Amino acid sequence: MTKEIGFIGVGKMGEPMAGRLLDAGYRVHVFDARAQAVAAIVGKGGVAASSPAEIASKVETVLVSLPTPDIVKHVALGADGVIAGSQVKTYVDLSTTGPRVAAEVAAALAEKGISALDAPVSGGVGGAQKGTLSVMVSGPHNLCGELRSLFEVIGKYFYIGDKPGMGQLMKLANNMLSATTLAASAEIMVMGVKGGLDPRVMIDVINVSSGANAALRDKFPKAVLPRSFDYGFATGLMYKDVRLCLEEAEALHTPMWLCNTVRQLWSDTNGAFGPDSDFTRVVQLVEQWAGGVEVKPPKS
């Protein structure tokens, strides 16, 4: 396998992933709509490109890490997109787009002789920096195996299946649970604090009890109790993932009673604080509805 690759989209998640690949000895050609983001990777040894098509005309394997399905489709299939490249053979999508977009992109690229893998990741910015992401890969088994060493630079490799979009479905299932546990934990913590409980004690008790979850293990101690609300994932992206999951459930005719309620809370959070806000601000919305309670350690 060549050690020369392309990487498109070097934001909060893409930048540390591209950086780890550079550190692992890959020669990384990089493109992002933001010149400052490209410059950061170039400063670490990356090679700047002016478009997705330029990257795809220089390397055989192109990875993308992008925020929305529409941007993914434009980068992959646009007039100056990956599909217009002359050298690319394999396209790897690390984004969260949903199964149907993954299948649509894969079908269009296949007509040009380009193999598409969807390989969404989970673990947040911290996981991207440490190389501990979970990487949910779907596509031709042999090709996925050939790229396994690349995926293992950024995290733990999971082969999900050979059908385009299976990795995306796995990611949506995970993120729906993540969104649900954070939303439910917000309501529980606000209730407890309003009733006089110390949130630190609540977290300590719950994390060694049957209610333990990632929101109370990581997000609350790092971003809610100190009132920084800077965990590193945008409200708009979480709301997008929740919507994609529910759209897929509807297409599959599977019930999502509880998750529809969770979707409404994320919609309200997105409206109240904006899509660029940190997703831990969902707690602040519940606090406001509870009359101004704040989940923070008592002064005493």
Helix (H, G, I), strand (E, B) or coil at 44: coil
Q: Is there a contact between 267 and 260 (Cβ–Cβ < 8 Å)?
A: no
The CA distance from 86 to 137, in Å, is: 25
Cβ contacts of 289-292, under 8 Å, gap ≥ 24: 290/190, 290/191, 290/194, 291/194
Buried b (16+ CB within 10 A) or exposed e, 260-288: eebbebbeebbeebeeebbbbbbbbbbbe
Tell me which residue of 232, 226, 244 sits closest to 297, measured CA to CA.
226
* Active-site entry in 44, 58, 156, 171: 171
The CA distance from 272 to 270, in Å, is: 6
∠ CA 189-221-155, rounded to 5°: 120
The CA distance from 141 to 166, in Å, is: 13
Q: Find the radius of gyration of the CA atoms of the chain.
A: 20
**Residue 240 is among the residues annotated as catalytic for this protein:** no
- DSSP-assigned letter for residue 218: I
Cβ contacts of 149-153, under 8 Å, gap ≥ 24: 149/1, 150/1, 150/5, 150/21, 150/26, 150/61, 151/119, 153/20, 153/21, 153/24, 153/26
What are the Cα distances from residue 144, in Å, to 90, 154, 281?
10, 15, 37
Catalytic residue positions, numbered? 171
